[in-house]
Chains A and B, each alone.
Chain A
């Protein structure tokens, strides 16, 4: 780009205006006001303001970056950021002026925009100043923030990352006050230095930012060394180290309920249920490539079978029997294997008719099966057995967690144990002959068949394994909640579980765990930050963002990453001395990692 000639930064302006539209949307739909009731940093930053701030920063950052060649000279970058940020601020300012003028002219703005309150105009947007000054401040603040964000683009990725990570962690800690304050409390630590009311203290915010940033710097600095020293270890020692790390993680998970308290343990339990469901569906979709949109069926089968077998009000318990001893047909531990058997049978029954279907057709048919199961449990026809719309009540908890004490901590342990078991099974399957056959089938069914892989057998096996693991989710759901209602088994469950594995990384076990935590756990942990009506919005935003920036999922499995990115060298070599594979072409967010 020739220096000296000053082009008008059209693109920056456009980015800024888009940002402005977003900010305006937040303001006039009431999001801003609604979220301003929550403080992130006490006395300094409300959540609503933070959103606007982030939009301005984001506009500046995006406008400044991504254009190779033009971003060399420092000044144009800053100017681009300034223009974009100011444009964002300008839109808000213009809105403020116009709305204020309309209000002064006694036009009822709120007839259409009910959320455009006097408070929004007089205090929030005008920052407590007069309208004109407020508008000016918005414009200036936008410009400054935009330029500030743009300056990040001038930094090397190595120095930019710690800043971004520090800021992200700070936000995270600020928003999850409920969780972190509880943890500090349970560890008998002071919380005053970190939180004041619901928000972070200013010192707390700085400390978190600095510590997180420093850790990011340290990690970047020593990452290579650590990896190298691990790689040069002799295999047996390396294996021992991996086992050690695994044990440490499991211990940590086991200690979690003590640390996070009862309410958060309950959230962890729910996450665990989704991990179980996710691991099951992962076998069907991730390993075998069969897009199943009716996975909720197995969740329902698990829950209802458990209910029928263990509830004292089940049809299996005769009147006299119930009078004699108020217990179910059998106890939880006897029921468990029966549930798995029932689920496997139903898995095969559902699988059999769809064996010849591929892709979209399979998805639609399984979608139908999911709905059929839901309709069946709701039906009057089966009501004498499954309770119809009334559901099944009084499902006892699993024996070590007694009925009167349905402790979230204890059920968490139970779920954790089965999650570990399911993860272990999945892990062993992935690298087995069966796993390879599934992978081949997923990639090209007809060739797999020609190679002698019995497609029918492996598809049924996938459905059966998926059913066996997924039904455990239902079982623990029943034992955890204690009553089962048909409306817990809607399409949304299938979609949620699918979203969990897509977001985590198809075919990846750690991916399922992280995916469940992000999609199920985080919205739950944010419950006192997020008004309930925004839950799905955040859920959607997380999904969209991750699918754009990490289409392979948060923790992709090795093979899957190969599908979406050209391979990374260190994972591809089977033999020492093999020539380096093709140059790495990093795509999307991966680009930021290269030195």
Chain B
């Protein structure tokens, strides 16, 4: 893949180690986003190709969540373009963007706690009209997470933390997205659960969903990702294949808690 835009900093991404690699489905081109006078994203350029798992690393307040919100149209970028399968989507409303095939697993899961597990899954499919398709995806989620199947009628707020994360992922999947955005899926989970969640993410990816995951747990995220970006105070400072990032002393220092 040599037709990439130049990265702001760091090496141009090498082709992903493994996994099918195709044309970019999702691109951010020189995107800047501010909340009022507060500039959060500055000239961010990145891309996610069909079939990939791409992770975005960054410390607190780096602007990771803001990046996802910008993609989903929840905030408007002040500059730049967001392109989804060749079409500009910045400026579209969130429902339209979701309908095109991007959904998000929000930070902290944020389930509809008073609604049942089933209702949460149904809400995920809100933008869809095809009943059979929805049922198929609900079934797919339930095969992926058999524990949810036993708890369809249970109120989502009473699920355990791990189950809640499963449901949050399931809720985003019933929309049958082409690109799944995930905001810190490991947050607040025990290490063993983190591993489970990431192996599920990998599984979802292998079933054909492109994944863009935001993480602070760099080790975990890079272990399943094809490529990664590192965001620092709103700017992309590194972008490389996951393997190189894992070995890069700069990432190791900043995110893996090691002194260079």
Contacts and interface: CB of A to CB of B under 8 A. Distances in A.
Interface stretch (B26-34, B107-115, B219-227): B107-115
B66 to A, nearest CB: 13
A452 B103 contact: yes
A375 to B, nearest CB: 36
Given A439-B115, A444-B110, A452-B98, A574 B126 contact: no
A449 interface: yes
A581 interface: yes
A572 B153 contact: yes
Nearest to B168: A447
Contact of B115 (A440, A449, A578): A440
A452 B127 contact: yes
Contact of B94 (A452, A572, A579): A452
Interface of B: 72, 74, 93-95, 97-99, 103-104, 106, 110, 112-116, 118-119, 122-124, 126-127, 150-155, 158, 171, 175
A563 B114 contact: yes
| Most chain B beta-carbon neighbours within 10 Å: one of A439, A562, A567 | A562
A572 B112 contact: no
Given A575-B153, A582-B158, 5 more contacts: A439-B115, A443-B114, A443-B115, A452-B99, A453-B95
Contact of A451 (B103, B116, B150): B103
B119 A439 contact: yes
A579 B153 CA distance: 10
A146 to B, nearest CB: 42
Given A451-B98, A452-B94, A572-B154, A437 B112 contact: no
A144 to B, nearest CB: 48
A573 B153 contact: yes
B115 A559 contact: yes
Contacts of A223: none
B153 A574 contact: yes
A451 B126 contact: yes
Nearest to B122: A436
B114 A437 contact: no
A188 interface: no
Nearest to A454: B95
Contact of A439 (B99, B112, B124, B158): B112
Contacts of B104: 450
A409 to B, nearest CB: 43
Given A567-B155, A573-B153, A575-B153, A451 B114 contact: no
Contacts of A579: 150
A433 interface: yes
A443 B126 contact: no
Nearest to A559: B114
A450 B106 CA distance: 8
Interface in A84-115: none
Contacts of B127: 452
A436 B110 contact: no
A581 B93 CA distance: 39
Contacts of B112: 439-440, 443-444, 447-448
A448 B119 CA distance: 13
Interface string A164-186: 00000000000000000000000
B153 to A, nearest CB: 4
15 contacts: A436-B115, A436-B126, A443-B112, A443-B114, A446-B74, A450-B74, A451-B124, A451-B171, A452-B94, A559-B114, A572-B155, A574-B116, A575-B152, A581-B154, A582-B158
Contacts of B123: 436-437, 440, 448, 451, 453
Given A439-B112, A439-B119, A449 B153 contact: no
A328 B110 CA distance: 56
Contacts of B171: 451
Interface string A423-450: 0000000000100110110011011111
A436 B119 CA distance: 8
A447 B152 CA distance: 20
A575 B118 CA distance: 11
Interface string A143-158: 0000000000000000
Nearest to A571: B153
A278 B166 CA distance: 39
A578 B150 contact: yes
Contacts of A440: 112, 115, 123, 126
Contacts of A443: 112-115
Contacts of B72: 450
